[in-house]
């Protein structure tokens, strides 16, 4: 469901002066900094915004629990999923999507 808190964050975000076109011109870290400065927006949302909305090739949503599960399923115990994404450079975003698709299509164990 959509909690009251999420509704508050969504309304606040809609009222904010967030220029999506301007964000698209910024480096990844600047986009993340701008987004997480907004109430209710965290690193997970900022990472997926970079990956899905802006299509940034280096976006690696390491905080995503399903991506973490996919990394563990295919690579075993990985202590730091965020730094692990560097092995896919410069295509971290694409690798994340392949890992998520692979996990989704993997036969039940």
The full DSSP string for 2-58 is: --HHHHHHHHHHHHS---HHHHTTS-HHHHHHHHHTSTT--HHHHHHIIIIIS--TT
Integer Rg of the chain from CA: 15
Cα separation of 1 and 54, whole Å? 26
Rounded average pLDDT over 46-74: 96
- At 92, is the pLDDT very low, low, confident or very high (cuts 50, 70, 90)? very high
Among all chains, which residue has been given the structure tokens 């730094």? 83
pLDDT digits (tens, 9 = 90+) for 29-40: 999 999 999 888
What share of the chain in percent tops pLDDT 90? 73
Any catalytic annotation for residue 64?
A: yes
Domain ranges of the chain: 4-53, 65-105
Catalytic residue among 28, 47, 64, 77: 64
pLDDT digits (tens, 9 = 90+) for 1-29: 778 887 887 787 777 778 888 999 999 99
């Amino acid at each position: 469901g959509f909690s009251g808190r999420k509704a508050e964050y969504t309304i606040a975000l809609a009222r904010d002066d967030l220029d999506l076109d301007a964000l698209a011109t910024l480096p990844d870290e600047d986009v993340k900094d701008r987004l997480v400065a907004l109430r209710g927006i965290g690193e997970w949302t900022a990472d997926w915004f970079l990956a899905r909305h802006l299509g940034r090739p280096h976006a690696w949503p390491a905080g995503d629990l399903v991506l973490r599960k996919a990394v563990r399923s295919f690579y075993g115990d990985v202590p730091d999923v965020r730094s692990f994404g560097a092995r896919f450079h410069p295509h971290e975003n694409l690798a994340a999507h392949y890992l998520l698709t692979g996990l989704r299509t993997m036969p039940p164990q």
